[in-house]
Chains A and B, each alone.
Chain A
Amino acid sequence: MFSGLNITSSALTAQRLRMDVISSNVANIDSTRAEYVNGNWVPYRRKMVVLEPKGEQFSTLLNKAMNKDTVTSGVKVSRIVEDETPYKLVFNPEHPDANENGYVQMPNVDPLKEMVDLISATRSYEANVTVFNASKSMLVKALDIGK
């Protein structure tokens, strides 16, 4: 009865996680000391989520094996990957992490990109809430049958 609502719920969870990752990126926009590798500090790398349909559930596979019609059951975040684009070099000789030429490696986070992702995540969340409400009002309407 509630499969539609469960699918929406998974989408909302995925978008929330995406939002959390964006928050992390924006918060660490100036973090030059994320990891300590071989005696050197490495700046923060921008993180991204990888979304995939939740298809490998037991019920879905069973229905498929029994040749029944199935709907894919929602979405999930399969991985959080790091953006491999190079760090930005900024000339700032006073910075504690500046190299001998006065350049500092800054995280590869682009505020504009993050803002666009933020809007995208917010709108997706809103769209899923709209789907949820439509699903719910359909169920409530079904209860009106025979009144």
Chain B
Amino acid sequence: MAINPISLNVGAVSEANQSAVTPYKAQKTFSSFLKDAINQVNDAQIQSDNLTKKMALGENVELHDVMIASQKASITLQATMEVRNKVVEAYQEIMRMQV
């Protein structure tokens, strides 16, 4: 019975390292993604704010448009809070890990 020698394929490993996403890159894409998402939520808030202001100033704005913008802002904010809660939960779970 022949025992195959263990051969460490150095070339393959280094190649895999090159093609794979580095932790730095992954973190960067995640942070930019998060930033974009939060900016979208902020935009919804700003739009709602602008419409409310316009209505208060007596400009020609439809009341239902104001209400709909505020509801959209509210839902996006709730979704953001939900994501934040999950992130904090995951962080706390990892911090509770026994080392």
Q: Is A47 on the interface with B (CB-CB < 8 A)?
A: no
**What are the residues of chain A within 8 A of B82 when measuring CB–CB?**
143
The A92-147 residues at the B interface (CB cut-off 8 A) are 129, 132, 136, 139-140, 143, 146
Q: Which of B65, B75, B78, B79 contacts A9 (CB 8 A)?
A: B65
Q: A residues touching B (Cβ–Cβ < 8 Å)?
A: 2, 5, 8-9, 12-13, 16, 129, 132, 136, 139-140, 143, 146
Q: For window 63-96 of chain B, which residues contact chain A by CB distance below 8 Å?
A: 64-65, 68, 71-72, 75, 78-79, 82, 86
Partner of B64, one of A9, A136, A140: A9
Interface of A is mostly: helix
Our count of residue pairs bridging A and B at CB distance below 8 angstroms stands at 29
Whether B59 sits at the interface, judged by CB under 8 Å, is no
A13 close to B78 (CB less than 8 A): no
- Tell me if B65 and A5 are in contact (CB < 8 A): no
Interface SS of chain B? helix
Q: Which residues of B contact A143 (CB under 8 A)?
A: 75, 78-79, 82
Given known contacts A139-B75, A140-B75, A143-B79, A13 and B64 CB-to-CB distance under 8 angstroms: yes
Known: A139-B75, A143-B78, A143-B82. A132 touches B62 (CB 8 A): no
In the complex, which of the residues A2, A13, A146 contacts B72, with contact meaning CB atoms closer than 8 Å?
Answer: A2
Residues of A within 8 A of B71 (CB): 5, 132, 136
- Per the bound structure, the CA–CA distance linking A9 and B65 in Å amounts to 7
